[in-house]
Amino acid sequence: MSASRAQIVGVGESTYTRWGKIGDITEHALACQAIQRAVEDAGLSMDDVDGLASFAEDRNEAIFLAAELGLPALRFGNMVWMPGGGGGCAAVSNAAMAVETGQAEVVVVYRSLCQGQFYRFGSAGVSTEAPAEPAPPSLQQANSLLLASMGFAMPYGLLMAAAAYALPTRRHMHLYGTTSEQLGMLAVTFREHASRNPRAVMGGRPLSLEDHQASPMIADPHRLFDCCLESDGACAVVVTTPERARDLAKPAVEILASEQGAPKGYGFGPFTNANIADELYATGGCEEMAGRLWAKSGLGPADVDVAQLYDHFTGCVLMQLEDYGFCERGEGGPFIESGALAWEGGSLPTNTHGGSLSEAYIHGLNHVVEGVRSLRGESTSPVEGAEVCLVTSAACVPSSAVLLGKT
């Protein structure tokens, strides 16, 4: 244990449900609930919290949550630019930097999603209803850099994440012979992990490879069960200094290393990065960042006992396995097929909570929560003797990762 490295001392979450099922409480109220539970789990008081961190266009701004929660003083309010789920681990990293440099002492990282109260993810607010007063299609003003970039994707119908991330996955299949069955086995493995997790939205719904292969095609090669859930829920983790962590309620988990980033030209991932280097296209784009993570921690893929890998789509997990060096480039399919990711008997038990495919889709911050639980011995699929856990946030899009260690 390092004397200066930040630690995670508390985790908490709301109930997780299917998309649109939480309507009686606002998204920000749910954020407050998760934050309060995480602070309570840490054995701290809300009066101790002086920082809030989140990521990716969070609707629930820290300034308002600080007011709603009655924080005595907000010293650190921070949001990461990595898109979508790519910023989850980066938000933890920013919280760690804040406490390590004395900008704040107790920072809560949070995420709340009740997308049914807004619009469906992947529709960008676009309706499939015919308009009452149709106008001839015309060029429109882009009011942001994102929209100007998306101008080269949206007119072709590239709006759904399931379609965008299908593009690198299809290329991976072409280059390496990766199969839909290999992707399916990954989904089946994570569902099996969810079966022991009472928080998992799909915990009571067993999934077989046959079910996966029979599920409707959404955006080839993505079948329904290759896609993450769409969920309502919130979760939070509490980051503080090692001094502060020493006498708290539960064993702390150390943040051994954290990294964020994107390769050259990566932009908004497969929505906008058709021109990234050929050798990068059928990857998760995390290889360079993974190298930095290993170098900083002095550890390597062989040291990881359990992994919580961002699983927006099955193929993106497969490409991460290669990026982080758990197997050779192009070998992700056979690696999954070998049973490596299974809690029972696998060399790299992965997504022991069920992941976004089977626990809940909280933009991957629930993977950090599970990372902490897996090192505290609190996971419902516990990995005996686990000391190092890799948690990642997104792939095939600008992303981030943290390496957690048992204290």
Partner 1 sequence: MPGDERGVRSVERGSIGEDMSERYFPDGMPPPLADTTTLPWWQAAAEHRLVVQRCADCQATRLPPSPVCAECRSPEFDWKEVSGGGSVYTFTIVHRPIAADQALPFVIAVIALDDSGGIRMISNLVEVECDEVEVGMAVELVWEDMSEELALPRFRPRQS
Residues 333, 179 contacting (CB under 8 angstroms): yes
For 295, the 3-state DSSP assignment is helix
Q: What tokens were used for 20?
A: 């649109």
The least CB distance from residue 275 to partner 1, in Å, is: 6
Q: Cα–Cα distance between 45 and 394 in angstroms, integer?
A: 32
Give yes or no: 310 in active site: yes
Q: Cα–Cα distance between 370 and 389 in angstroms, integer?
A: 10
- In whole angstroms, what separates CA 244 from the centre of its chain? 27
Nearer to partner 1, 171 or 329 (CB): 171
The least CB distance from residue 124 to partner 1, in Å, is: 7
Amino acid at 204: G
Nearer to partner 1, 143 or 279 (CB): 143
The least CB distance from residue 185 to partner 1, in Å, is: 21
Give yes or no: 176 in active site: no
The least CB distance from residue 214 to partner 1, in Å, is: 15
Nearer to partner 1, 172 or 353 (CB): 172
The least CB distance from residue 145 to partner 1, in Å, is: 8
Nearer to partner 1, 163 or 391 (CB): 163
Instruction: Check 110, 165, 281, 361 and give the catalytic one.
Output: 361
DSSP codes, 313-325: BHHHHHHHHHHTT
Nearer to partner 1, 102 or 157 (CB): 157
Nearer to partner 1, 3 or 140 (CB): 140
Phi, psi of 347 (to 5 degrees): -80, -20
- CA-wise closest residue to 54 among 44, 64, 40, 46: 64
The least CB distance from residue 215 to partner 1, in Å, is: 12
Q: What is the DSSP letter of 165?
A: T
Q: Cα–Cα distance between 35 and 279 in angstroms, integer?
A: 41
Q: Cα–Cα distance between 123 and 161 in angstroms, integer?
A: 9
Rg value, the chain, Cα? 20
Q: Cα–Cα distance between 331 and 289 in angstroms, integer?
A: 20
- CA-wise closest residue to 374 among 109, 11, 3, 6: 11
Q: What tokens were used for 370?
A: 């599970």
Instruction: Check 165, 176, 310, 324 and give the catalytic one.
Output: 310
Phi, psi of 222 (to 5 degrees): -80, 110
Amino acid at 213: Q
**Angle, helices 314-323/287-297, rounded to nearest 10 degrees:** 50
The least CB distance from residue 161 to partner 1, in Å, is: 11
Nearer to partner 1, 73 or 274 (CB): 274
Task: Give me the residues that bind partner 1 (CB under 8 A), please.
Answer: 124, 126, 128-131, 134, 136-143, 145, 147-160, 162-163, 166-168, 170-171, 174, 216-222, 264-265, 272, 274-275, 281
Catalytically active residues, by annotation: 310, 361
